Amino acid sequence: ELVHAFERAHTDDAVRVVVLTGAGTVFSAGGDLGQNLAVGAPGGGIGPASLTQLFPAMHALGKPIVAMVNGPALAGGLGLVVACDLVVASATATFGLTEINLGLWPMMITAEIVRSIGRKKALELMLTGERIDAHEAERIGLGSRVVEPADLEAETAKLAETLAQKSSIALRLGLSAFYASQDLDLAPALVYLERELRKVLGTEDAREGIAAFLQKRKPVYKGR
């Protein structure tokens, strides 16, 4: 369902920002363990959709995704958090890679988490299965801001509104370049990013943004 939702958001020009949150008091406790057992059985399939589809769909969206973490984000649920562009967490939220406590390992999450935090902290979470609080998650780079539970929705909405006012084409080109360049060596990354910079500078929104700055007025972006 998330893959389909991101595909719809990708093609809907009215969608400027996506906020991903959990129903009730939990952000996400991870995958369906019963389904995981079926997948791991001899002859088992990969299920309706796998993280090999979901994470690339999130990074290819071209629109900011904000995780509004309203409660525990565990195992695959933490993977969802890390795959988002920004994270606003309730001070009461908890985070953990708890798979090891069930004799499992967060294989798919590895690809995301090692791109966000240091190897030692990532391995500590994976090896111990311990949970950390929101402030520790922010400290090690898993979250971008922590707010009081009563302020979670309002602060997330404020951030989403700020993002929605930016140039949509600049966001799309910028996010695409951010994820495409993260695994390149320095020299080819600079060449690639210079090419992408030319694309941004050639947009109508870039010309409008610069003109508005020089004229000391608010820019009117058209997403072109």
Please tell me the predicted confidence (pLDDT) of residue 46.
47
pLDDT of amino acid 112:
92
What is each CA distance from 151 to 33, 120, 164, 170, in whole angstroms?
A: 33, 32, 20, 29
Which pLDDT value is given to residue 51? 83
Which residues are paired to 90 by β-bridges? 147
- Cα gap 218→197, rounded to integer Å: 23
Structure pTM? 0.89
Determine the pLDDT at residue 39: 52
Burial of 89 (0-12, 13-18, 19+ CB in 10 A): buried
Pick the catalytic residue: 99, 112, 130, 148? 99
Q: With DSSP H G I counted as helix, E B as strand and the rest as coil, what are the percentages for the chain, rounded to 5?
A: 55, 10, 35
Cβ–Cβ under 8 Å, residues 146 and 91: yes
pLDDT of residue 37: 55
SS3 201: helix
Q: What does pLDDT average to in each consecutive run of 10 residues of the chain (224 residues)?
A: 93 95 92 62 55 92 96 94 96 95 93 92 96 96 92 97 96 95 94 96 95 94 92
Q: Is 99 among the residues known to form the active site?
A: yes
* CA distances, 76 to each of 33, 52, 67, 98 (Å): 11, 12, 14, 9
